[in-house]
Structure 1
Amino acid sequence: MGMKSNSKKMMMLLLAAIMVFSLAACSGGNNNTKNESANNTPENTPSSTETVTPPSADEPGWKSDTAPITFDWYLNFAWFPNKWGVDPTSQYVTKKTGVDINFIVPAGNENEKLNTLIASGKLPDFITLGWWEDGVKKMIEGDLVLPLNKLAEEYDPYFFKVSDSDKLNWYTQEDGNVYGYPNSSSSPKDYEQFGDTYVSNQTFVVRKDIYEAIGSPDMRTPEGFLNALKAAKEKFPQIDGQPMIPLGLHEFTATGNDSLEQYIQNFLAIPREKDGKLYNRETDPEYVRWLKTLRQANQDGLLAKDIFIDKRAQMEEKIVQGRYFAMLYQRTDFGAQLGTLYQKDPDKIYIAVDGPANTNLDAPTLNGPGISGWTVTLISKDVKDKARAIKFLSYLNSEEGQRDLFLGEKGVSYDTIDGVDQFLPEVFDLMNTDRAAFDKQYGSSFTFWMMQNTNITQQWAPKAVEPYKQLEDWTIGKTVSNSEFDLIDPLANSDEGIILGKIKDLRGKTLPKLLMASSEAEFDKIFNDYIKKQEELGLDKVMAFQQTKYEENKKKLGM
């Protein structure tokens, strides 16, 4: 139930989706008042208040109509396994609001399915997809989705009260309208309030028992890193009769490798900009030094062939077998496997340790939640009931909706225990041992994450438990907001987008070659060719486009 990492940008979002295994995003902090007062700004109030009994900005609109209605809701995530109405939480929401949901999830390639829907010109009532997807712009430009602000003004001004004005402003298009609202979104203002509790998904982990057996070495320097991989392989050549894999990475895709791009660049604290100009992190000497370290690891027989071909499903199998010694990997992507390992033997689990660092041994700058969030949800022009759709979206955005989808129904998945609303012990236990079973049996803790707002729900979030807590805690204080670098890429079919597509394809082909180079001289040749080819393809045009967007973002965020 984790998330596919098939896009370079995906990490930023996934960071925000820290609730997938229901481990508390953060602890403490009370976010009740923020959404009530700060966001009811004058420009957000409906203009015509003279009409006959106008909808109220103070009263939840959904209460005015709870007749049964079923909405079709498209989720652009083939891995999403749950159905609405199977579990008590979704049943409770339907009983309360009258809204039933029929999820439509692609069976195979998400983009093919989404493009087919867009080409047909007819969309399901609600659409949820990653904010970085081209489909967002295609739907807006093709007039296939409705402005949420207009729907709210006409049918449910309460929407403005329960939505964050910073997030509405961030997603306002050139025509002055907002078509999508994000989940798991944290603005720079949210950082001021909750920043010291934010966690990242980006971790460097080692198998605890093996790491301790080789003397818990420091792996921050190239030498320490190579020596540790070597010692681990020598001491544990096999795991349960199968070859040990010294280092695990995210999968190599047609466009690159998450671990070898943002992850390692963030671990090395490589800046994204210098003096207000976007910086090409790939050319940084610290980055090149570590790619050369991995080339050396391969030459020394410390990179298994598996890592160049395995997809996420194969990795999950090998993680459950404990076959990796170290991994530069997204912790929520192996949460379920980690839980299984912990049940078997709490000593043979993966723990986060300080990984690759720059020459100064600076702390990493890991992706924290950003203002773009993880997904955006839009309402189709073909929606079967405009009023009910925006009212339901407001309900989901409100503290009440957040509470219902996070805690579930009182007495079923949570209760007031010791004066605190919290999950029942047996519910929390199932959540941490078998998430798939939990989703079907209870359906709370954001089984349905389309509009999750962890800044609101952290007041009820249980403290993380082991083995997840150690990984989460390791990232606290190392996360940074990268909101201003979101949404800067050109559309895929634009001139700059076509260039960027070619550069990404080139990167996808080059990264494995660099690691497999037979000597440092061969590495240098491949790398210099790569940088030169990028320039020939028109990298400067892409950078100029991104620079403009980056400067617009800074203005939007008041930086």
Structure 2
Amino acid sequence: MKTQANGILKKTAFLSVITLVLLSCSYDKKVVKEVDMGKEKNEASWQDDTSPITFDWYINYSWFTTAWGNNEVSKYVTEKTGVSINFMTPKGDEAENLRTMLDKGRLPDFITLSAWDDGYKNIIKSGLALPLDELSELYDPYFFKVADNQKLEWYRQSDGHVYCYPNYSLPIEDYENYKEDRKPSNQTFLVRKDIYETLGKPDMRTPEGFLKALEEAKNRFPMVGEESLIPLGMHEFTKSGNLSIDSILPNFLAVPYEKDGKLYDRYTDPELIRWLKTLRKANELGLLAENIFYESRAQIEENIIKGRYFAMIYQRSDIEVQQLALYAKDKNKIYIPVDGPANSNLDQPTLAGDSISGWTVTLISKNCKDPERAIKFLSYLISEEGNKDLYLGKQGATWDVIDGKEQFVPEVQKLLERDKIAFDNKYGAGETYWMLMDTNYIQKWAVPKPEALNVLQDWPKGKTYNFSVYDQTNPYGESEEAIIFSKVNTKWQETLKLLLLAKDDEEFDKIFNQYQEYAENHGNEKVIQYKQRKFEENKKKLGIK
């Protein structure tokens, strides 16, 4: 194994008490530290020291705005552990902000960012993260008790170390019970209830029915207040793609991830091409938002809360705040999920649920002011105890045993159902602090959602799948494959916009063929081979034959 540069020196003996030379605090001063390696693995080590300490924690999402220390849950956790948190978020573009931080070579104590981008991999590659396994061996055996071994193995790097831990990660062995018993997929096709029902609940599974419904909605309901109706909305277009088109739509079409044991290029699938041409036609007919390529998430959310969209290819969890507000005004004007775009056989969608990769990952920086307290706090957060404290808060204050179940007291539950933002700010419970939440744990305390949200989560049940084995196959960094992948992916994002803007199907085909030629001429075959190797490695990691 490689030794972490400027990091922790390896242990030289397994003794009950050993003397270690470490780089302290910011790892620039040598100190001698005694560590009790005889501590039982079952003991929660965070209890050893509950003196006040504040960690800087960077969240790589500009939309996260809930502070620490101003609500019931965060005050309780600080009172219990001694740990306070100073959350930091990017002011502008997340990717650019992270690059700037990496260039400076200094990061806050904790860092949370997407499990699906290269950001966390670049942090590890740059030597700016501490290995969690080494920190645990040195300071906190309890980490190995509360951490899921499959998650650790999934994120183990080529040097043998684990540098990050995921949230909302579902081990593959839980898959058999996943469809009904675990959190349903976030991926939905949504329509505004009142308009959809007035139109006679049209079948929108075929391109013809889809376009007809959008046109009728536009013609019969041209205005929402003083603004025009937007027949179809999607997630924002970013530098890394469009979630609605790149992921949700292919899953609605049940486009396979592999064929005959080989990874499949879903972008070339005839069913997806058929529906991309449908979206092109929608744009030609004026059924897409005029500024769809430039709308920010904040602008989209503003349109949702106004009820300006008739239909949306969107994640249901991303409209919960707006849905509650709409319900409070008029329960008939909320968004409901319905059968949306389907393949030619009208097969049920195969929607993505939680996977082993999770949604985000959290790392401890090598600049961390106190690595010992950091790993112990992280162990607490990923444990059942930590999840319970963050989800429910303090017994008697925010929750109690009611009808034999640990759940929010009525006043807390009522605010959650009425105003999610006010709930976050006052109580900070539920999934307010989601950074290291565990799907399996929080299901124990989840209460029935209010009607406005319950309707969103019921529809994906039975259509949700664990696609872990296909995760983390894209090359990154400065390898030849990564450079090719970056170029081809950038080309695809440019092409996608041009496809939707094409004046007819003939121009669409020409643009798409040019993309395929570009990919082939720029060595995309090497990327395909790389991804296949990673796919085979994933199968071994997960014990899939």
Question: Which residue of 2 is the match for residue 446 of structure 1?
Answer: 431
What residue is the counterpart of 1:491 in the other structure?
476
Who is 2:503 aligned against? Answer: 518
The letter of the residue matching 1:302 is L
TM-score by length of 1: 0.88
Q: Quick check: 131-140 or 178-187, which moved more?
A: 131-140
Q: Provide the secondary structure at the position in 2 that maps to 1:347.
A: helix
User: Which region of structure 1 is more displaced relative to structure 2, 281-290 or 97-106?
Assistant: 97-106
* 1:151 is the counterpart of 2:117: no
Q: 1:420 aligns with which of 382, 402, 405?
A: 405
Give the structure 2 partner of residue 130 of structure 1.
Answer: 114
Partner of 1:303: 288
Q: Sort the Cα spacing of 1:299 and 1:83 in 2 relative to 1 into closer, same or farther, 3 A.
A: closer
**1:162-198 deviation per Cα after TM superposition (whole angstroms, max 9, x unaligned):** 1101111111111211111111100111223444233
Which of residues 405, 415, 422 in structure 2 aligns to 1:437?
422
Across the aligned residues of Structure 1 and Structure 2, the Cα RMSD in angstroms comes to: 1.8
* Residue number in structure 1 paired with 2:322: 337
**In the alignment, which residue of structure 2 is the partner of 1:456?**
441
Q: Distance in 2 between matches of 1:47 and 1:346?
A: 66
The equivalent residue for 1:214 is 199
Name 2:383's counterpart in structure 1: 398
Mapped partners of 2:99, 2:496: distance in 1: 29
What is the match of residue 473 of structure 1? 458
Q: Quick one: distance in 1 between partners of 2:293 and 2:376?
A: 48
Residue 313 of structure 2 aligns to a residue in which SS? strand
Deviation sequence 1:392-424 (CA, Å, 0-9, x none): 111111111111000001122111212221111
Kindly tell me: are residues 547 and 212 of structure 1, through their superposed partners in 2, closer, same or farther at Cα, counting changes over 3 Å?
same
Tell me what 1:389 maps to: 374
Change (3 A) 1:243 1:402: same
Distance, in Å, in 2 between the alignment partners of 1:137 and 1:276 is 27
The answer to whether residue 33 in structure 2 is matched with residue 67 in structure 1 is: no
**Identity rate, percent:** 55
Are positions 1:179 and 2:163 aligned together? yes
Letter in 2 for 1:406: Y
Q: Label 1:430 to 1:210 Cα distance change in 2 as closer, same or farther (>3 A).
A: same
User: For the residues of structure 2 that align with 1:203 and 1:361, how far apart are their CA atoms?
Assistant: 16
For 2:6, the equivalent position in structure 1 comes to none
Cα deviation for residue 496 of structure 1 reads 2.0
The answer to whether the 8 Å contact 2:179/2:463 transfers is: no
CA contact (8 A) 1:66 1:98 kept: yes
Deviation at 1:110, TM superposition (A): 2.1
Bigger drift between 101-110 and 394-403 goes to: 101-110
Offset of 1:492 from its aligned partner?
Answer: 4.3
What is the one-letter code of the residue matched to 1:362?
D
Instruction: Judge conservation of contact 2:167–2:436 (CA < 8 Å) in 1.
Output: yes
C-alpha displacement of 1:49: 5.8
Pick from 490, 505, 516 the counterpart of residue 531 of structure 1.
Answer: 516
The alpha carbon displacement at 1:251 in A equals 2.0
CA distance in 2 between partners of 1:256 and 1:76 (Å): 17
In the alignment, what sits opposite 2:212?
A: 227
Q: Give, in whole Å, the separation in 2 of the partners of 1:388 and 1:69.
A: 9
Deviations for 1:353-381, whole angstroms, at most 9, x for unmatched residues? 00000011111111100101111111122
Residues 366 and 90 (structure 1), Cα distance of their counterparts in 2 relative to 1, 3 Å cut: same
In 2, distance between residues paired with 1:294 and 1:375? 30
* Helix, strand or coil at the partner of 2:292: helix
Cross-structure match for 1:552:
537
Distance 1:47 1:344 in 2: 66
- Matched residue, 1:10: none
Q: CA deviation at 1:322?
A: 1.3
- The answer on whether the counterparts of 1:492 and 1:501 sit within 8 Å (CA) in structure 2 is no
Q: What is the distance in 2 between the residues matched to 1:319 and 1:191?
A: 33
Q: Which residue of 2 aligns with 1:104?
A: 88
Residues 47 and 153 in structure 1, CA contact (< 8 A), matched pair in contact too = no
Of residues 348, 352, 368 in structure 1, which corresponds to 2:333? 348
2:347 to 362, 367, 381: 362
Range moving further from structure 2, 243-252 or 116-125: 116-125
Rounded Cα–Cα distance in structure 1 between residues aligned with 2:225 and 2:510: 40
Superposition deviation, residue 87 in structure 1: 1.1
Change in 2 beyond 3 A, CA 1:115/1:293: closer
Gaps of 5+ in 2: 1-11, 19-35
In the aligned structure 1, how far is the partner of 2:73 from the partner of 2:357?
Answer: 27
AA matched with 2:279: L
Whether the 8 Å contact between 2:60 and 2:89 is mirrored in structure 1 is: yes
Q: Which residue of 1 aligns with 2:14?
A: 48
Q: Deviations over 1:508-532 (max 9, x none)?
A: 2222322222222222222222222
Number of residue pairs matched by the alignment: 514
**The 10-residue stretch of structure 1 (137-146 or 163-172) with the greater mean CA deviation from structure 2:** 137-146
Aligned mate of 1:318, from 303, 310, 314: 303
Q: Against the structure 1 CA distance between its residues 119 and 195, is the aligned structure 2 distance closer, same or farther, given a 3 Å change threshold?
A: same
Task: Tell me how far apart the structure 1 counterparts of residues 15 and 418 of structure 2 sit (CA, whole Å).
Answer: 52
Question: Counterparts of 1:359 and 1:89 in 2: how far apart (Å)?
Answer: 49
Q: Which residue of 2 aligns with 1:31?
A: none
Q: Partners of 1:290 and 1:219 in 2: how far apart?
A: 12
The answer as to whether partners of 1:254 and 1:509 remain within 8 angstroms in 2 is no
Maintained 8 Å contact 1:118/1:139? yes
Unaligned runs of 5+ in 1: 1-45
- How far apart, CA to CA, are the structure 2 residues paired with 1:312 and 1:508? 18
Q: Structure 2 length normalisation: TM-score?
A: 0.90
Q: Distance in 2 between matches of 1:151 and 1:309?
A: 44
Structure 1 CA distance, aligned partners of 2:113 and 2:50? 27
Amino acid at match of 2:65: P
Q: Is the 8 A contact 1:56 1:156 kept in 2?
A: no
Q: Which secondary structure state, in structure 1, belongs to the residue aligned with residue 216 of structure 2? A: helix
Q: 2:212 & 2:93 partners in 1: Cα distance?
A: 41
Higher relative contact order (CA 8 A, sep 6+): 1
Change (3 A) 1:456 1:254: closer
> Aligned letter for 2:352?
N
Tell which deviates more after alignment, 100-109 or 268-277.
Answer: 100-109
Equivalent position amino acid for 2:68 in 1: W
Aligned 8 A contact 1:200 1:479 in 2: yes
- Post-superposition offset of 1:47: 8.8
Whole-Å separation in 1 of the counterparts to 2:131 and 2:289:
50
Does the 8 Å CA contact 1:396/1:451 hold for their aligned counterparts? yes
